[in-house]
Amino acid sequence: MEKQIAVLSTGAIGSSIGADLTHAGYNVSLIDQWPAHVEAMKADGLRVTMPDSELHTPVHAYHLCELSSLNRQFDIVLLAAKSQDTRWLTEFIKPYLKGDGMIAGVQNGMNNAAIVDIIGKPRVMGCVVELSAEVFTPGLVQRNTDPAHTWFGLGELDGGVTPRLTELEKLIKHSGKITITDNIEGAKWTKLVNSSMILAPFGMLGLQSWQAVQISEVCNLCARLASETMRVGAAHGYKLDAIFGLSPEEFLGPEEKIIDKLLHTILGHLGKKGSRTARGVVLQDFLKGRKTETDFLNGHIARKGREANIPTPANDAVVELCRRIERGELKPDRSNVEIIARMLG
């Protein structure tokens, strides 16, 4: 029987994956809470522009309110929501998930525990994603890393290799390169190291990655953020994992080498053209006037640091400055690096 697949929350990442899977011939339902985006997809399909190509495909798109009348149960749900939307959307989709169905959180942040709380560990699959994309116009996605330059890490929460893991690998490979790991939570924390020094910091400065890494003060802040995140992760038992398709050997050696590798690998995936157009997700949210994921990224690190009695002043400062931007007290601007410097003494 044909598998029923749902991509739940079709922002830039969800739309990119949903378009790839639909184009590959899978039965995919794209479900989202942005009415104009859903209506645009219904009317004219989904258009995904990439640095050197474009994918325009008809899709099955649905509003949240339409799901109850579809009379459909899903085998696989790819949850591509912002971290702050994880719990309510997992509760929302729970009645529509088959008893032996699974959810994979295709998200930033450490959200697996929240999903497990709601549907149980046996129905959760771990996923790490490195895909750069943005959507500002309904039905139109700017994808900065095409499938050849997109990466996913997949793994069972208990580290096993199972038929459903192989099935998910076969599915997701249409959207990017795949690494199977027996250390999925470690891989997600390693991605959090990367996210902690890129997403909110570059967003609060209003800069793209290629601009930010040319400023020595910003690079110093990135290194401090990553170092804090690595120490907090180690205190909680997370073991760094080779992500972004890098080899395990590239994660050996001094902390400074690992941080530099994590900081610059994404720029390589974006390429010259992509790096000049890509905007990080936190910056996108600032431009849209939306709440960001910062509290679930740098804020999560700070909370875990307090649990382990490890100071995280750099992550604390980034969280506070981003909150000030969200409240309208500041704007994303390069000068914010000076405010951070004063906050850190």
Map out the domains of the chain with their CATH numbers. 5-182 (3.40.50.720), 186-343 (1.10.1040.10)
Residue 103 predicted with pLDDT over 90: yes
C-alpha angle 160-164-168 in degrees, rounded to nearest 5: 105
Amino acid at 323: R
What residues are paired with 125 via a beta bridge? Answer: 104, 156
Q: What is the pLDDT of residues 161-218, one digit of tens each?
A: 999 999 999 999 999 999 999 999 999 999 999 999 999 999 999 998 888 888 899 9
Percent of the chain with pLDDT over 90: 85
Average pLDDT, the chain: 94
Q: What is the pLDDT of residues 139-168, one digit of tens each?
A: 999 999 999 999 999 999 999 999 999 999
pTM for the model? 0.95
Residue 1's pLDDT is: 62
Residue 298's pLDDT is: 98
| Residue-by-residue DSSP string for 267-314 | HHHHHHHHHHH---HHHHHHHHT---SGGGTHHHHHHHHHHTT---HH
Pair of tokens at residue 122? 């046996």
Q: What is the pLDDT of residues 267-324, one digit of tens each?
A: 777 777 666 778 999 999 999 999 999 999 999 999 999 999 999 999 999 999 999 9
